[in-house]
């Protein structure tokens, strides 16, 4: 069975916020993604609200019928919002106000007590806890110690290497193969700890297949490439194409 696909619709909100206009509607986008076969919807509520805003989360909680995953930093403000709106899952991420996008995994090892406390509050509220981490054995062990149900492996280094693989053939291809091996080993270890395994960041129609071939990875969170493609072929077809790329596994 192929991995589930949660479509990250942050950049639908990015277009809206560029004009502070009512359109495009993230609610309409979420419904269209679900109808096109997405297994869930992912949003990132950032501290600076640069794309998704609080009202979006409230509205999406009402309409998303598949699975709603909310990425957030482990701050008290965000924890309260999650406990108030009750998404199906929360993915804790590292957040830096100056970054263009999430720059890497959360350092769970160095923030173990904060993460463990957040996970325990989510568990009481029946919210699944996922931790966005680099494919690093120490972080996987820490995620297990924190009591999380899931890890999401950051695929940014792999994705970056695949872009390099096109620009500089041998060196880029070797780096991509190395990053893929790190992901495979991390996914195997996480599974051994009994964690569910997701992956995401920077994945595209071209590079997702090799990651989808890792049997331990059960879920993908993909946004930018789907929303980019949707400009040319429409959102529903963009979701279908990504689903097919995942199912092809290569
Ligand atoms: N997973 C996490 C934890 C993220 O922070 C992001 C970006 O918001 C994604 C997945 C999706 O990345 P992309 O937009 O590059 O597909």
CB atoms within 10 A of CB 99: 11
Q: Is the CB of 222 under 6 A from ligand 1?
A: yes
Q: What is the pTM of this model?
A: 0.96
Q: Give the pLDDT of the chain (250 residues) as one tens digit per residue.
A: 789 999 999 999 999 999 999 999 999 999 999 999 999 999 999 999 999 999 999 999 999 999 999 999 999 999 999 999 999 999 999 988 777 777 789 999 999 999 999 999 999 999 999 999 999 999 999 999 999 999 999 999 999 999 866 656 788 789 999 999 999 999 999 999 999 999 999 999 999 999 999 999 999 999 999 999 999 999 999 999 999 999 998 7
Is the previous residue joined to 175 through a cis bond, with omega within 30 degrees of 0? Answer: no
Q: What is the pLDDT of residue 167?
A: 58
The three-state secondary structure class of 109 is: coil
Q: How many domains does the chain have?
A: 1
Half-sphere exposure of 228 (CA within 13 A, CB side): 9
Catalytic residues: 44, 71, 201
Q: What is the pLDDT of residue 96?
A: 80
Q: What is the pLDDT of residue 165?
A: 62
Asked if 136 and 104 count as a contact pair (C-beta separation under 8 A), the reply is: no
Asked if 199 and 179 count as a contact pair (C-beta separation under 8 A), the reply is: no
| Residue 143 belongs to domain with CATH number | 3.20.20.70
Range of the domain at 237: 4-248
Residue 222 CA, ligand 1 centroid: distance in Å: 6
Residue 220 CA, ligand 1 centroid: distance in Å: 9
Asked if 42 and 90 count as a contact pair (C-beta separation under 8 A), the reply is: no
Q: Which atom of ligand 1 is nearest to the CA of 224?
A: 14
Query: Which residue's CA is the closest to the ligand 1 atom numbered 1?
Result: 200
Q: Is the CB of 101 under 6 A from ligand 1?
A: yes
Q: Is the CB of 202 under 6 A from ligand 1?
A: yes
Is the previous residue joined to 24 through a cis bond, with omega within 30 degrees of 0? Answer: yes
According to DSSP, the residues that pair with 219 across neighbouring strands are: 4, 198
């Amino acid at each position: 069975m192929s991995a589930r696909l949660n479509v990250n619709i942050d950049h639908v909100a990015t277009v809206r916020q560029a004009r502070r206009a009512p359109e495009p509607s993230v609610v309409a986008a979420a419904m269209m993604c679900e109808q096109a076969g997405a297994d869930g919807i992912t949003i990132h509520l950032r501290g600076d609200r640069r794309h998704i805003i609080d009202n979006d989360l409230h509205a999406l909680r009402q309409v998303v019928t598949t699975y709603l995953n909310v990425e957030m930093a482990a701050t008290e403000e965000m924890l309260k919002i999650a406990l108030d709106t009750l998404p199906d899952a929360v993915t804790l991420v590292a957040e830096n106000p100056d970054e263009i996008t999430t720059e890497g995994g959360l350092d769970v090892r160095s923030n173990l007590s904060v993460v463990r406390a957040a996970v325990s509050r989510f568990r009481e509220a029946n919210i699944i806890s996922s931790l966005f981490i680099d494919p690093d054995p120490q972080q996987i062990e820490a995620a297990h110690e924190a009591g999380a149900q899931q890890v999401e492996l950051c695929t940014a280094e792999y994705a970056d290497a695949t872009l390099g693989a096109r620009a500089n053939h041998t060196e880029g291809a070797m780096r991509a193969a190395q990053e893929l091996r790190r992901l495979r080993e991390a996914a195997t270890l996480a599974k051994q700890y009994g964690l569910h395994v997701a992956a995401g960041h920077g994945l595209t129609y071209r590079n997702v297949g090799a990651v989808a071939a890792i049997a331990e990875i059960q879920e993908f969170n993909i946004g930018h490439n789907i929303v980019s493609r949707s400009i040319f072929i429409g959102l529903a077809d963009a979701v279908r194409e990504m689903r097919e790329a995942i199912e092809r596994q290569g």
